[in-house]
Chains A and B, each alone.
Chain A
Amino acid sequence: MALLETKDLGIAFGGLRAVGNFNMKINENELIGLIGPNGAGKTTVFNLLTGVYLPTEGAIYLNGENIVGKKPFEIVEKGITRTFQNIRLFKDLSVLDNVKIAFHHKMKYSTAAGIFRLKAYWKEEKEIEEKAMELLKLFDMQDSAYTTAKNLPYGQQRKLEIARALAADPKLLLLDEPAAGMNPQETKELMDTIHFIRDKFKIAILLIEHDMGLVMGICERIVVIDYGMTIATGTPEEIKQNKKVIGAYLGE
């Protein structure tokens, strides 16, 4: 069974149908690219999958369960986390706190335990601190754990956002243009990072990207959309030859 499956997913804003008849399957541990010209509806698909928008048609199945209508935070609990096209960090907090906040829904101690500092508080806080540090170490960011997030260089901010999304313990990670604004060197590093986290955390990744080098380089399968509809699905090789795709990008 596929990890995630969408059935005729669509949304209309007033009269404008931004996404329609969107069908996609993601298997466990798969790395998939979602591409399409500007305004094709890629980010809208992300917003539908993460519960930011309520679809007007169709269904989304995560491990066979329909998750349409769930709130974004509930979908995180179910196992889908994401990053944003324009980085959204908790800017005035430390790098470590950014990651710790994402562990929140996995933590159990009660409000009272937090206020009166009972045993559960100390135990869990210590565990989370260690886990967060471990995660930062994987991204080679342990030295900036106490830096304020907004003071990080751009590339590191992107990395931190991915680390934070991973801290929430996803089965499927959605990356919205992770390489936007990066130079070729940083993009190369990012490709390695994405590969690494896929293997290390055994998760599926769906990424939106305009950098074709990156997409063709690491994705096993690519989904192309245009005007909110899937126009092609296949391996990078197949996509490169696909007439419809070439048409969408270059015009008929």
Chain B
Amino acid sequence: MNSRWKANTINTTSIILIYVILVLLIRMGFINSYYEGILIEMGINIILAVSLNLATGYLGQLTLGHAGFMAIGAYAAAIFSSRVNMPDLPLLLISIIIGGLLAALLGFLMAIPVFRLRGDYLAIITLGFGEIIRVIILNLKITGGGKGLSGILPLTSFSSVYFVTIITIAIFYTLINSRHGRAIISIREDEIASEAVGISTKYYKTFAFTIAAFFAGIAGGLFAHHTLVLDPKDFGFIRSIEILIIVVLGGMGNLTGSILAAIIITILPRMLMGFADWNMIIYSILLIAMMLFKPGGLLGKREFSLYKLLAGRKKSHGNAPVKNEGSE
């Protein structure tokens, strides 16, 4: 009980502290709007990576259609917010939740045919579904078709992304460490054994897939109100692969790894801008090197915990929710 409160206090304090510092830096002009934009993209990438990690890292099912869910969330949220009159913050929150719910609904419907397959076949069928979503958006009137959807309200701010990201991470952390999370992980470990100890693998696959789609939709909604223009091309399978790269780089089934990798992958291409034509090559080489030398991901199996760090690396056996969730 005691260490539980201590960990909660440490996490909450650090989350608020980092927030205050970043906001102060933005207000004082040390972080200009360009860098603020990067921070927002970081948050969006973290949400995408953490949600894909549930399906791919924890559930162990390689899915390549994550950008499709993001697209649904983005378009649904943008279309909703352009038609409703409301103060900014509640409007943003309601639109991203609508985007998330729609993505979740599609994820749920997709899970039924998709999980009849496994492994490579599953990867290809999800890739197919992702493309179907993109092509449908491309051909609808309401989404602006190939011209894209413009005139989206600039509702996403650093603060809203920061807190939505924190809440997302917290939800995934507690979910994974509950009995439902254990059931999901057991499917990755051995599906047959999992079923043989009384876990409905079908239910938990659908469940994890739906939750992952929901948060991809949330990320899409934030993205839409940040970029202000949506183009179906932004949600091609390259985007899905990018998210997958973050997950693999951070370590399959490692939450803090995904967060760290999302931060790096957001910054890296921009840091390499100076190299002009060479930047994609350097970027690719860095990825290859990373996989060669750290195939298990940046953090491997270890989860970073501020509480454990402060408590002097005392061995705690996962009784307490000990993890720093404020590392954006």
Contacts and interface: CB of A to CB of B under 8 A. Distances in A.
B193 A116 contact: no
A165 B197 contact: yes
Contact of B180 (A50, A72, A111, A117): A111
Contact of A115 (B171, B186, B194, B319): B171
B195 A109 contact: no
- The interface centre, meaning the residue of A81, A111, A167 with most chain B CB atoms within 10 A of its CB, is A111
A167 B196 CA distance: 12
B164 to A, nearest CB: 16
A2 interface: no
Contacts of A72: 195-196
Contacts of A90: 185-186, 189-190, 193-194
A101 B194 contact: yes
Interface string A25-50: 00000000000000000000000001
Nearest to A72: B195
A81 B196 CA distance: 7
Nearest to B178: A114
A92 B189 contact: yes
A5 interface: no
Contacts of A165: 196-197
A191 to B, nearest CB: 24
Given A73-B201, A101-B199, A105-B199, A115 B175 contact: yes
Contacts of A146: 317
B52 interface: no
Interface in B195-248: 195-201, 207
A91 B189 contact: yes
B281 interface: no
Given A91-B189, A97-B182, A114 B175 contact: yes
A76 B200 CA distance: 10
A104 B179 contact: yes
Contact of B181 (A89, A114, A167): A114
Contacts of B175: 111, 114-115
A115 to B, nearest CB: 5
B191 to A, nearest CB: 10
18 contacts: A52-B192, A76-B196, A76-B198, A81-B198, A82-B196, A84-B193, A88-B190, A89-B193, A90-B193, A101-B197, A103-B179, A104-B183, A105-B197, A111-B175, A116-B174, A117-B321, A125-B178, A125-B179
Given A52-B192, A89-B189, 18 more contacts: A72-B196, A73-B199, A73-B200, A76-B195, A90-B190, A90-B194, A92-B189, A101-B199, A102-B197, A104-B183, A104-B198, A109-B178, A109-B179, A114-B174, A115-B171, A115-B178, A121-B178, A125-B179
Interface of A: 50, 52, 71-73, 76-77, 81-82, 84, 88-93, 97, 100-105, 107, 109, 111, 114-117, 121, 124-125, 128-129, 146, 164-165, 167-168
Interface of B: 171, 174-175, 178-183, 185-186, 189-190, 192-201, 207, 301, 317, 319, 321
